[in-house]
Structure formats: C-alpha cells, structure tokens
Amino acid sequence: MDYRNFFDGAFRPSAYSIEVRNPATGAAFASVPSASEADAIAAVGAAHRAQPAWRKLPSIARGDALRRFADAIEARADVIGAALAAESGKSLADARGEAIYGAELMRYHAEWARRIEGEVIPSDNPDETLLLKREPIGVVACLIPFNYPIYTLVRKIAPALIAGNTVVVRPSNSTPTSALVLAEAALAADLPAGVVNILAMSHDVARAACTHPAVGMITLTGSLAAGRVVLDYCKTSIAKPSLELGGKTPVIVAADADLDAVAAQLLAAKTTHCGQLCTAPERVYVHRSMHEALLNRLRAGFASRAFGDREEDAQHMGPLATKAAQTNTHAMVERAVAQGAKLEAGGVLPAGEGYFYPATLLSNCRQDMEIVAEEVFGPVLAMLPFDTADEALALANDHQFGLSSVLFTNDHRMVMAFADAIEAGELYVNRFPADPYQGFHAGWKRSGLGGDDGKHGMLEFTQTRLVVLKH
C-alpha cells in the first residue's frame, strides 16, 4: 500500500521513510513517509490558516462534520483494522472493533455541539453583567501512543474539533499505518483543508512542529519521560499541556471478594494487549486471609495463558510492541527475582520470532521493589498481602502514579473510604477499568495533567474569555 502523510487537505509524499514492523513476526511489512521539518511546519501553517473559518462555523455544523467523519471511519473499518492488526499484533476482530469504537466516540463528541456552555455571573456593580465565554485554543498538536492508536487518536481530535480547534496529529512510529489510513476518512468526510492533518515524523521533526508559535496546546498519551519532553515543548510558546502519562493500577482484594471472579477478571485485564494499557492491573494487594487462595487461582491461570500470533489464533495473547519492550520487560522480572520476588508463572524470554512475553506472576513482592514502584507495561503482575483496609489504602497511595485503581469488596463502608481517599483519578469497584467516554479519565501525581473524555475532557480544548458588560 502507498502510504502518504495527510496535510492541508491532500496526501503528500516525503523523501524520508519509517519502516514499520509486525510485532508478531518481527518482519517489516510497510514503509511510511517520514515528514520533513518543512512538511511539519507546512501542516501547522495549514491548521493555523484553517482554524478561524472552522471556529466561526456554528457548532452544530462542526457536529455534522464529525458525524460525516465517523461514518467515513466506520465505512473503512475493515481497511483501518487490517493496518492496525498488522502494526500492533492485535487480532483482526479487535483491530476492526477499535475502528468502530473510534467512530462511536466521534459521534459522542459531535453531540457536544449544542452543549458547550459559558456562564452568566452576577456583577458587584449595578447595570453590569459578567459573561464567561468558552472559546477554542487554536491549533492543537496531538501525540498518539502505540497501544490503542485509533481510539486515542479519535479521543483527542474529536473534542478538539467540536470545540473549534484544528489539529496536527503525530502517530507513534510503531503504529503509523492505521492513522494514515484513517486520514482517508477525513478526506471523504469533506472536512475543510487544514482542519485535520496527520503526519508520521521523527522526534526532531515533532519538536519543530510542537514548538511552532501557532501551536496553542499539546495533548499526549504516553510515558512519564515523554510527558517531561512535552512540557519542555510547551515552555517554548507557553502552549497548554494535556498529558495522560504512566499508570500503576493497584487492585485491592478484600476478604469478602469473590475470588473466582477476581482471578478470571485479573487474568483477562492483565493479558489484554499483552498488558500494554496504562490502566492495566500492575500490583495486587490481597487480604492475607485470601492471599494463598487467590495466588493458587492466578498461578494456574497465568501458567495456562497461551501467547502467539493472533492472526493465527485470535484467542492468544499477542506480542509486545517492540523488541526493546520485550527485553526490558524480561530484565525487570529478572531484577525482581534477584530482589527476592518469587516467580510463580512465566518469566521466561521466549525463543523464536516476534516480541512475545508470557503472562508472568510474582509473589513475595515488597513495596520498595522496582517491579512495584515502576510501570512495567507488559503482562507482569506483582502480588502483596495486607491485613487491614487502612493498610491497603496506604499501600495503594504510596506511589508516584495515580491514574486508575480497583477495589473488590461488597463492604460499602470500605468502598466509601476508598472513594474519599484513594489518590487516583479513577476508582473502579468490582470491575476493571474500561474508560467510559462520558466520564473523565484524568491522572493524579505523575500520571498526568488534565484529562480525556466527557464534558471535562472536551473543555480541556477550550479557553475562557470574560466579558464585563456595562449596560
């Protein structure tokens, strides 16, 4: 397939290229254009020129455009899904489903067209009214991760567009093909030239684009290290950052939990996309009276969890994204064992092609171990016991990250204690994270700034103007 970058309303070639590998085989399957600095600056310029007219459209007209965009994505779900499956190692059904979900998410944000509201505020002075208006920011740079490259792309551009902004999108260099195929939907939806621009590019070119004076906001889903880089970008033009960064989801299993249900859900949540979710469970705190029973269930489940190429068997757990991810994950497991953790299942670097890693369970972990303190972003789960609810809460909160958290109990007092005191942007009770798009997905601590989804996620892409009206 002839992939091209999309900016200023047209697909354009580049003199540079990026090789894309299938993580299930390690083999290169595509070459995509890598934008030059001139290309990236031209894309920002196109977005800057298009934004005033896009902003002036009635919001319902922008909503209609988003619905056309959603329809075009859904109509291309098969081809988007095929590209996504090849670049990510997902099954074709899962990849196609991600494209369909992206269309649904786009339609959800289109509904904000009639709901972006300001405020009327009483003045202290007679014959005077204060009006607080919500306005777009301008050009938004959207930096997309590799794990859910279509879902997160739509998650960022849909609220940005409905609020009246234009976007320049940089997909991950590991998963750029699906984004460039999705760009065909933007063209088919007859969006004005420059409103949506999608370009693969190097880190140096991304810096040039993000630090362009016309960029008013940078939104990233990525690692803590990537977040620090983006904050440096933002300092150049004082652009607004919106960052969803690392996670280390704690799962607290109380003494009254249904262990069979917990074990089944834990295994599924930990091995979905080989654990490459920022909300995946990474540390499990189990009431001491239940620890051995849950460990036995998880050991059996982890040991029997098959992995392999999901093109051959969709029920397999797929690969990690890169060879480096595979190597780093195994190194973290080896260091954990050296520090005293007990390997209960997995923990072996597989031979053969592809970037696979087995479902790995570690017991006898301590709070000060690297495997508990740092994000793994792979199919590795650390277990620790606790004795009291207060201890479990303290252990869950004793961390640099605060994205999602999970509590299994039917004790409403414990639920409310955690709801009042957990240091995380989300608490899921008796279920695992799934990011409902009408909620608000926002991290505490080093898990980020700002957030995505729902009303509050959409308002991230606006700024305010106060009008003081004397009458």
Is-contact 87 178, C-beta < 8 A? yes
| Identified catalytic residue from 87, 184, 244, 426 | 244
142 is known as an active-site residue: no
Distances 223 to 169, 266, 289, 377 between C-alpha atoms, Å: 18, 23, 36, 10
The gap between the terminal CA atoms of the chain, to the nearest Å, is 63
Convert the chain into a string of H (helix), E (strand) and C (coil): CCCCEEECCEEECCCEEEEEECCCCCCEEEEEEEECHHHHHHHHHHHHHHHHHHHHCCHHHHHHHHHHHHHHHHHCHHHHHHHHHHHHCCCHHHHHHHHHHHHHHHHHHHHHHHCCCCEEEECCCCCEEEEEEEEECCEEEEECCCCCHHHHHHHHHHHHHHCCCEEEEECCCCCCHHHHHHHHHHHHCCCCCCCEEECCECHHHHHHHHCCCCEEEEEEECCHHHHHHHHHHHHHHCCEEEEECCCCEEEEECCCCCHHHHHHHHHHHHHHHHHCCCCCEEEEEEEHHHHHHHHHHHHHHHHHCCECCCCCCCCCECCCCCHHHHHHHHHHHHHHHHCCCEEEECCCCCCCCCCCCCCEEEECCCCCCHHHHCCCCCCEEEEEEECCHHHHHHHHHCCCEECEEEEECCCHHHHHHHHHHCCCCEEEECCCCCCCCCCCEECEECCEECEECHHHHHHCCEEEEEEEEEC
| Identified catalytic residue from 98, 278, 282, 365 | 278
Instruction: Provide the token pair at 381.
Output: 């789960």
244 is known as an active-site residue: yes
Q: Catalytic residue positions?
A: 244, 278
